[in-house]
Amino acid sequence: MSGRGLKQLSILTALVLIAGFALVFFWVPMDADQGFKQKIFYLHVPLAIVALCGFIAGGVEGFRHLRSGDRRHDANSYVFIHLSVVFGVATLITGCLWAKASWGHFWVWDEPTLVSFLIVFLLYCTYYPFRYAIEDRDRQARYASVFAIMAGAFVPLNFMAVRMAESLIHPRVFATSGGGLPGSMMFTFLVCLVGVALLWVTLVKLELLGKQTSGQVSKLRRALEAQGFGGGEETSGTVGRRIAPNLEAQ
């Protein structure tokens, strides 16, 4: 199920990303203050938005797991958080490069947007040791779901706190009163945002497909071992002769 439509989604993702970055380099005007180096904005900000939305989606899937007990929701929650952490790393790297080019420093500790994202990122970095410190699979899934819900609820609260901060040198993309992007920049930004979001969804489906395939292979191996095909004493020809009658009977 996770692999259904993956090829078409991958092609669409590539096309949207190519279109978005073609607009960035060949159509959208230069920023009046920062010039060419501002163009990293069209990658940095979409990565941050998608990562934060992915964290919230992981919390939603954790809630669905606690409510239903379906392990698929736990797997979804894990993959959502895992890939959002990867996107978070990319966000921090691109942010540091942009900060160095614009402010002369890789990091500015009195900037609420930077520090708040780092706090969220470090919070989710504790998800892995917390999850795998629990050996029992059922308890592991339940506790991880609780963590995902609590951390996911913290993300929008943290975002609102940053929006209310007075000291803010980060540009506001979706400004409520003035200071927003002009039309061409906003259109290009939205195309890039859609492209990065599609990339996240594509990677989610790919990782879930990999986990499903690995699970099916493990089930097949256990089934073969239960029928006596798992021992190293039998040759491949012997195993083939023993499997053939079963296949004919089916």
**In contact, 192 and 24? CB cutoff 8 Å:** yes
Amino acid at 25: F
Model confidence band, residue 197 (pLDDT cutoffs 50, 70, 90) = very high
Alpha-carbon span 114 to 54, nearest angstrom = 18
- In our burial notation (b when 16+ CB lie closer than 10 A, e otherwise), range 220-249 reads eeeeeeeeeeeeeeeeeeebeeeeeeeeee
Q: What is d(CA 195, CA 19) in angstroms, rounded to the nearest whole number? A: 9
Region 54-59 average pLDDT:
94
Predicted TM-score (pTM) of the model is 0.80
The pLDDT assigned to 182 comes to 72
Which is more confidently placed, 16 or 5? Answer: 16
Instruction: Judge whether residue 239 has pLDDT over 80.
Output: no
Give the model's pLDDT for residue 39.
86
DSSP secondary structure code for residue 172 in this structure: P
Cα–Cα distance measured from residue 50 to residue 193, given in angstroms and rounded to the nearest whole number: 8
pLDDT at 173 over 70: no
Q: Mean pLDDT, to the nearest integer, of 115-124?
A: 90
Q: Are 41 and 98 in contact (CB under 8 A)?
A: yes
pLDDT above 90 as % of the chain: 39
